[in-house]
Amino acid sequence: MSQFINKKEDIVTEAIDGVVAASGGKLARIDGYPHIRVVVRNDWDRSKVAIVSGGGSGHEPAHAGFVGPGMLTAAVCGDVFASPSVDAVLAGILAVTGSAGCLLVVKNYTGDRLNFGLAAERARAFGRNVRMVIVHDDIALPDLPQSKARGVAGTLFVHKVAGALAEAGENLDVVAEAAQRVALGTKSFGMSLDTCTVPGSPKEDRIPTGMVELGLGIHGESGAEQVALKSAKQAMSAVVGKLQIAMGNEPHVALLNNLGGASVLEMSILLHELIQSSVGSQITHVVGPAALMTSLDMHGFSVSVYPVSNKDDLAALQTKLAPSVWPALSEVSPVQIMGVPDGLTPITPIPSDHQKTREFLTACCELLISAEADLNLLDAKSGDGDTGSTLASASHALIGALDRLPLSDHTQLCRAIGQELSQTMGGSSGVLLAIFFTAAGDATSSGLPMKQALKAGLKRMQEIGGAELGDRTMVDALSPALDELDNSMGAAAAAARKGADYTATLLQANAGRASYISADQLEGHTDPGAEAVARLFEFLARP
């Protein structure tokens, strides 16, 4: 079992009941499980135009999540990635349609068109005034005529505009005309790093590691092509390149949709890249980033765009609504930057050069950069897998700062390194090393030789950080190494290595993230901070 489900055949009904139960009485479902699965507004006024949509499940929160004032009146839910039955759609129509009529918003898939279309015909036979709008916003398959294109996340723009007009009391002709206009004007394109996992079915692993698939469908259908993924910027540029052809020069609103498996951090970066992209100046408003029309757990995203030169459409998109899963439409504005508060502006040291010191620091930094992958692998055993990256990032920053540092004044140099690390090195290790170097600089200014000053720095770091020998930290390698410096660098290196290797035998960490890890996960794995110290001293001890 790799998913939090019970029986495969119950996943849709159980999910619906969860949504309805948590709605505070605002939602209800039509009796008829398991064949009829329809979520409806509990407060519906039949004097207004009903907006009904739906389709296969697995795209949550679409469509049941958007049932509420200002959006959908009812959502008809099929099995995962399967159209609901004609009877289910008809039940939804009949349950909410009064004299004002009903608009069906249907994504352009054969099953949905057939089942919703036949249900509409049967509803008309019951005397209901029913109109249907087909959404075909996907531009991923250029050889298909637009009328044959799939309906994907851009459907949500249609839901929002139609829902706002219906809530305002507009008649069916006005609502349907606006919905049709939005459906025709919306364009969407998506990509993913991986396919989705359909409950109860084997996962299709067709996308190799390091590749991304462009234009795949929200049911996991193969995309137009696979390309190597180099960065978020390149990924967004590929998507924008497809959309730009269809956008023209008007201002647009964009919807950035998480297909289910991308992290919030990734989606925020992608939003940044969208705003900075070649169409960024045309994006006046954004919806998201958010998981709105997902493909189960697909690790991907899609962008939908719609021109908002029509002020009425923009107003409808901005109208407040009840479903909380719909994020507000936000206006895009320049990033606001505030000045650093008084007292936190860094004191710039007076730079000076000293070639041997420059070469020494560069060599140490390059060693830590080269050890990035090894240290990350070690940290993955007992932490969050980023020790190597943290040290490498700080080393790159320190190399870049050499021209600004007082290389010929070791007292000021230690203080400057401490300041640089506090600004560029993340996590607790950055703070601790900043304390170490700052305290060492203070000690040399009071007359202590460098070897003793380094010990003073270690003492101060331990006082603030709380780590002692045997706590399974970098202290287990650094402390014995500094004790042996009076003898020779070789002795210091041997002591550092012995201390680092000793951490692999310790089954309890008393500091850092490793303190949350069980003994069987720690045994045999050297602490990454101690390993970094040992490698550094071993490098310095070379002839």
Beta bridge mates, 188: 138, 304
Distances (CA, A) of 283 to 6, 187, 340: 43, 14, 30
The residue from 63, 136, 219, 285 that is catalytic is: 219
Q: What is the pLDDT of residues 361-415, one digit of tens each?
A: 999 999 999 999 998 888 887 666 788 888 898 899 899 989 988 989 888 988 8
Q: What is the pLDDT of residues 460-482, one digit of tens each?
A: 988 888 888 888 888 999 999 99
- Note whether 168 and 47 are within 8 A (CB): no
3-state secondary structure of 19: helix
As a whole number of Å, the CA-based R_g of the chain is: 30
Beta bridge mates, 131: 103
Vertex 457 angle, CA 452 and 462, to 5°: 125
Q: What is the pTM of this model?
A: 0.77
* Domains of the chain: residue spans and CATH: 8-198+208-331 (3.40.50.10440), 355-540 (1.25.40.340)
Rounded Cα gap, residues 115 and 102, in angstroms? 16
Residue 195 has pLDDT above 70, yes or no: yes
Residue 97 burial (10 A CB sphere; 0-12, 13-18, 19+)? buried
Taking the mean position of all CA atoms in its chain, how far away is CA 5? 24
Helical residues (DSSP H) of 248-386, grouped into ranges: 264-276, 311-318, 355-370, 372-382
- 63 catalytic residue (yes or no): no
Residue 290 burial (10 A CB sphere; 0-12, 13-18, 19+)? middle
- Note whether 213 and 204 are within 8 A (CB): no
Residue 512 has pLDDT above 70, yes or no: no
Beta bridge mates, 290: 257
Residue 55 has pLDDT above 50, yes or no: yes
Q: Which two tokens stand for residue 186?
A: 């919306």
Q: Which two tokens stand for residue 89?
A: 């759609």
Q: What is the pLDDT of residues 125-143, one digit of tens each?
A: 999 999 999 999 999 987 7
Written as one letter, the residue type at 518 is S
pLDDT category, 295, cuts 50, 70, 90? very high
Q: How much is the pLDDT for 518?
A: 44
The dihedrals phi and psi of 152, each to the nearest 5 degrees, come to -130, -140
Rounded Cα gap, residues 106 and 512, in angstroms? 53
Q: How much is the pLDDT for 521?
A: 53
pLDDT category, 522, cuts 50, 70, 90? low
Q: What is the pLDDT of residues 316-352, one digit of tens each?
A: 999 998 888 999 899 999 998 888 787 665 566 788 8
- Note whether 152 and 218 are within 8 A (CB): yes
DSSP class of residue 261 equals S
Mean pLDDT of 144-171: 93
Q: Three-state SS across 156-208?
A: HHHHHHHHHHHHCCCCHHHHHHHHHHHHHHCEEEEEECCCCCCCCCCCCCCCC
Residue 139 burial (10 A CB sphere; 0-12, 13-18, 19+)? buried
Tell me whether strands 50-57 and 27-29 are parallel, antiparallel or unpaired: unpaired
Helical residues (DSSP H) of 350-449, grouped into ranges: 355-370, 372-382, 387-400, 410-424, 427-445
Mean pLDDT of 443-458: 90
